[in-house]
Structure 1
Amino acid sequence: MVAQIQRPTFSSSRSYDMEIEGLVQVFTCPHRNFFTSVMSQAIRLAGQGTSVLVVQFLKGGIGQGYDRPMQLAQNLDWVRCDLPRCIDTPEVDEFERRSIIDLWQYMQNVVYQNRYDLVVLDELSVAMNFNLISQAEVLEFLRKRPRHIDVILTGPDVPDGILDVADQITELRRSHQP
């Protein structure tokens, strides 16, 4: 069963502006981590009818570029860089750098076209820390996005400038050492 939220209609001649401003959420931890709670939130919302885009900037290896998105549920598109490997170091070749920049441009274009209501930018902080995408570009994107779109950014060492504009910051940490 799929639940779908619809905007109520009123018989009155009054106009009701029910537009809700989207949130910028940051999920961070001291190390690179797969944020299961973020993915489960994205899948749950897609199942309820919300259009969701998940972008993994540094994951590769499965031939899943932005021109071949994986669809999970009816409303969730999942894209990665079209790379033969996962990026785990700032040393990338020109093909890898271009692939990440192309994915960044693709993501911005579809967001500005209003195709999604939730956008998850996985490991974006790592891409910024590797100097593959600048903090200024990310801040400009967050400022220019359609106001109703929720954006979730994940990764370790999120720059302070991004944290300053976040509506919610969730920091995961260990409560004990193994």
Structure 2
Amino acid sequence: MSDSNHQNRMQRKKEVVDERISRATEERGVLILLKGNGKGKSSSALGTLARSLGHGQKGAVIQFIKGRRETGEYLFFRDHPRLDWHIMGQGFTWETQDRERDIQAAEAAWEIAKGLLGDPAYNIIVLDEMSYMFKYGYLDAVPVVEALKNRPAHQNVIITGRTMAQPLQEIADTISTVQDERHAFRGGVKAQAGIEY
């Protein structure tokens, strides 16, 4: 491609992007759903959280499942002055094998989440692995949807998990699906600190 062809192509692209930017005039928080079987949903959410903290915003994380060990991200973020971190899970459900205990943990986590969703001091809230609570019937999606609709207008919320309840998808602003093409674990590579946790 010649320099002039490249320049013309980039000029057309700039015009399209500039036009989209000019149409985006609404200022409010968004609901982001990160779903799919691929690796990296929680990592993406926490990367966005780091971006928010970098801008001086206040955030919170509630981990609905990951509760049995201190993850690298928790160890990194735990002392941040503008971040609240709640590890509420009892571990993965196939490890606990105790439905009642899992339901109690989910309900306790939701009570904290509900309080945060009503607090205008929080700019961003990550509800990590929350989608499983609906899949396994530990929580009802209806009150969660209502709380999300009634949260402070500036508040951003990210929910992660492989599957996502339809009522959440209907109100989401952004939905990203992380695909699974290959995973080292299936190839026999042991989960390791800094990569899986």
Would you say same fold, with TM above 0.5? yes
Instruction: Give the SS at the match of 2:28.
Output: coil
Task: Look up the match of 1:73.
Answer: 80
* Aligned AA (1:113): D
Q: Kindly provide the amino acid, as one letter, of the partner of residue 147 in structure 2.
A: F
Matched, 1:102 2:108: yes
- Tell me which of 84, 87, 90 is aligned to 2:93: 87
The answer for the alignment partner of 1:60 in structure 2 is 67
Q: Is the Cα–Cα contact under 8 Å of residues 57 and 123 in structure 2 kept in the other structure?
A: yes
The residue aligned with 2:145 is 139
- C-alpha displacement at 1:31, in angstroms? 5.5
Distance 2:171 2:95 in 1: 27
User: Shift of residue 44 of structure 1?
Assistant: 2.4
Q: Deviations over 1:74-125 (max 9, x none)?
A: 2122111163x33347953433322220111111113213231101111111
Which one has a larger percent helix, Structure 1 or Structure 2?
Answer: 2
Counterpart Cα distance in 2 of 1:51 and 1:157: 28
**TM-score for both structures, normalised by structure 1:** 0.74
One-letter amino acid of the structure 1 residue matched with residue 111 of structure 2: Q
Residue 125 of structure 2 aligns to a residue in which SS? strand
Q: Would the aligned equivalents of 1:90 and 1:131 in 2 still touch at CA under 8 Å?
A: no
SS in structure 2 at match of 1:116: coil
Q: How many residues align?
A: 154
Q: Which 4+ residue blocks in structure 1 deviate beyond 4 angstroms?
A: 31-34, 175-178
Please give the alpha-carbon distance, in whole angstroms, between the structure 1 residues aligned to 2:117 and 2:168: 18
- 1:29–1:172 contact (8 Å) kept in structure 2: yes
Alpha-carbon displacement from aligned partner over 1:34-69 (angstroms, at most 9, x marks no partner): 531211111221132111111111121259xxxxxx
Corresponding residue for residue 40 of structure 1: 47
CA distance in 2, matches of 1:78, 1:172: 24
What RMSD in Å do the two structures reach over aligned CA positions?
Answer: 2.8
Q: Work out which of the two has the higher radius of gyration on C-alpha atoms and give 1 or 2.
A: 2
3-state secondary structure, aligned to 2:48: helix
Structure 1: distance between partners of 2:43 and 2:178: 11
TM-score normalised according to structure 2 size: 0.67
Measure how far apart 1:150 and its partner are. 0.6
1:20 corresponding residue in structure 2? 27
Which residues of structure 2 form unaligned runs of 5+? 1-25, 71-76, 188-197
Change (3 A) 1:175 1:96: closer
What is the alpha-carbon distance in structure 2 between the residues aligned to residue 71 and residue 47 of structure 1? 15
Q: 1:135 to 1:107 in 2, by over 3 A?
A: same
